[in-house]
Amino acid sequence: MPKQKKSENLWLKKYPQDIPWDVKFVGKPVHEMLEESARKFPTRPCIDFLGKKFSYQEVMTLVNKVAEGLQAQGVKKGTRVGIFMPNASYFPIFYFGILKAGGIVVNYSPLYVVQEIAAQIRDSNTEIMVTLDLDVLYTKILAAHEETKLKKIIICPVKDILPFPKNFLFPLLKRKDLANVKWDKLHLNFKDLTNNNGQPKAVKIDPENDIAVFQYTGGTTGIPKGAMLTHANIHINAQQALMWFAKVDEGNERILAALPLFHVFAMTAIMTLAVKCGAEMFMMFPRFNVDEAMKMIQKHKITFFPAVPTIYTMINNHPDVKKFQLTSLKACLSGGAPLPIEVKKQFESLTGCKLVEAYGLSETSPGVTSNPLWTLSKAGSIGIPLPGTEVRIIARDKKNQEVAQGERGEICIKGPQVMKGYWNRPEETERVMQGGYFHTGDIGYMDEDGYIFLVDRIKDLIICSGYNVYPRVVEEAIYQHSAVEEVTVIGVPDAKQGESVKAFIKLKAGKVVSEKELIAFLKDRLSSVEMPKYFEFRDALPKTMIGKLSKKELRAEELSKITKK
C-alpha cells in the first residue's frame, strides 16, 4: 500500500495554550490509577451509592479482596470475567479487581436478552459472570449459563451497599424483586469471595499488549464485535481526558454517574477519569431519571456531568427546570451522538455551564476529539484531537488519500487510545486498520482551524435520486422549530428515487404543529432533495441502552411494512 500523505496539523493553530498536543504517553496497568489515588486521597469519598459512601481506601481494600478471591477461583492472566449490572458500587470494585487479578473485563448490558448474553459469553469465552441479587438480572444469567460454558456466577447483594436504614428495609420492601438463588457450586456470594486477606498475587502486565477490556460494539449494524482495549489504551485515554480538563480541582470534583458504566463513554468520561483525579462518583440506580438527576445535581453540588444529547434535551424541556439550582456545574460533556446546536444553546442558557461536544468510539477507548472547555468551542463541531491524537479526513474511494481541507471524507484516527483490534475477527480488523489509521465509518470534514465536523455515519447516509442526503443536516434544521423536542431521520426504500427521507418527530409537551406547517418552516432551511417526503409524529422515539436516539428499530419497522405488502 502506498504511504499515506500526511497533512498539516491544522488544529495546532487554535490549540489551548495550557495543553500540549505532542505528548508521548506511557501506558500503565489500569488498576494502578486507583492505587495512586488511594495513596493521594485515602479518606476522600470515591463512590456515593444512594447515600452510602466508600472512600478511596475502602474501595482499594475491596478491590484487593476481589482480586485475591478471583485468583482463588482460578482467574489468571487473560481470564475473561463479565460484569452484568447497572451502576452500583460493585461495578468499579469488580472492574479494577478483575484487572488486578490479571483478568479481562467483559462488559455486558443489563438490558441484553438471554440470547444476546449467551452469544457474547460464547464469543468472548467469558468464564465467570458478576451480577446483583436482583431477579431481573439473575434469571437471565442463569438461563444464559444453561446454553454456554459459564463456570461461575458471583452474586452481589444490593442491601450490603446501601446506607442505614435502606439496607434493612430493602430486603423487606423489595422481596419480590430479589433473586431466588440455589446456592450450589455454580454460585458464589460476594462475602465468601472477599473473605480473605486482600493480598492478591502480583501479575506482570505489559500495558501496550495485554488486553484489559473487551468492549462489544456494532450491535446496531450487525453482529457485535469485541474491541480489544489494552491497559495502555484505557490508562492513556484517562490521562488525555484529565489533561483536557486542565482546570480540574483534583480530590474535590463531584461527577454524576448518570450514564451506565458498562458503556465505553461512561467508562472513561465518568469512572476512570473520576478515579484518575480523585473525584467522587454519585451513582444513579438503576437507570436515568431526569427528576432525580436534577435533584442530585442540586443536593450534591455536582461539578461535572457527562451525558448524551437526549439527557440534556430532557432537562431543557422539563417543566420545572428553573426551580432547580444547577449552577454548581462547571463543565458538561456531550457524547455518544451528535449534539444539536439548539440543545447546546438552551442548556448553556439555563445553567450557565459550558456544554461541549466530544467524539469517540468503542474502538478508541473512547475519547478522540473534544471542543475545548475554556477556549474556542464551535457549535456543531466535535472539536479538535486530544493530546497525542491525529485525525485525518480520508477519501472514501481512495483509502490512503486525504481530501482537501473543507471537503468531506471518512474520519480516520491514529493515537495511543486506538484498540489492538477486534477479538477473533482478523478480517474486520484489517478492514478498519489501514495505513496506520483506524477508519471509523464516519463522514466529516475539517475546517481551516482544524476543528472537525461530523456529518454522519456512512451507514446512515441516504442516497436519494443519486444525491447524498445526510440525516444530521435534516435533523439540525428540524430541531430549530420551537415545537420539536426530538427528531430522528432515516432513509426509507423508494421505487423511483432509491430512498426517500423520513422524519420521526416527538413534539414538546403541549405543542402542536402540522406537517404542512413544518414543511413551510423547512422550505428555506433544506434543499428539495433533503426535504423529508414523510413525517411521522410520535409520543416517544426509540433509544439505545445509554439513551441516545436509535435508528435501528425505525428502519426495521419500515422494512417490515414492505415485506407485509
**Across residues 497-521, what is the average pLDDT?**
95
Rounded to a whole number of angstroms, the distance between the first and last alpha carbons of the chain is 48
Residue 452 CA to its chain's centroid (Å): 20
- The CATH architecture one would assign to domain 31-42+49-204 is 3-Layer(aba) Sandwich (3.40)
Model confidence pLDDT, tens digit, residues 416-430:
999 999 999 999 999
- The model carries a pTM of 0.90
CATH of 1-29+231-411+442-458, one of 3.90.580.10, 3.50.50.60, 3.40.50.12780, 3.40.50.1110: 3.40.50.12780
Model confidence pLDDT, tens digit, residues 139-154:
999 999 999 999 999 9
The pLDDT score that the predictor gives to residue 222 is: 57
CA distances from 263 to 254, 319, 351, 371 (A): 20, 29, 26, 21
The pLDDT score that the predictor gives to residue 7 is: 63
| Cell numbers placing 47 | 463512590
CATH of 461-564, one of 3.20.20.140, 3.40.50.10190, 3.30.300.30, 2.40.37.10: 3.30.300.30
For residue 1, pLDDT over 50 is answered with no
77 and 108 Cβ atoms separated by less than 8 Å: no
- CA nearest to 551, candidates 474, 464, 481: 474
| Cell numbers placing 112 | 441484553
Q: Do domains 1-29+231-411+442-458 and 31-42+49-204 have the same CATH topology?
A: yes
- CA nearest to 90, candidates 39, 33, 154: 154
Report the distance separating Cα 405 and Cα 447, nearest Å: 6
For residue 224, pLDDT over 90 is answered with no
What percentage of residues in the chain have a pLDDT greater than 90?
Answer: 85
Q: Where are the domains of the chain?
A: 1-29+231-411+442-458, 31-42+49-204, 461-564
Q: Is 487 exposed, middle or buried (0-12, 13-18, 19+ CB in 10 A)?
A: buried
**Across residues 470-483, what is the average pLDDT?**
94
Q: State the number of CA atoms in the 13 A half-sphere of 358 facing the CB.
A: 30
The pLDDT score that the predictor gives to residue 217 is: 87
The pLDDT score that the predictor gives to residue 459 is: 83
The pLDDT score that the predictor gives to residue 466 is: 79
Model confidence pLDDT, tens digit, residues 271-323:
999 999 999 999 999 989 999 999 999 999 999 999 999 999 999 999 999 99
DSSP 460: G
In whole numbers, what is the pLDDT of the chain averaged over residues?
94
**Across residues 538-547, what is the average pLDDT?**
91
For residue 548, pLDDT over 90 is answered with no
| Cell numbers placing 232 | 495502555
The pLDDT confidence band at residue 2, using thresholds 50, 70 and 90, is very low
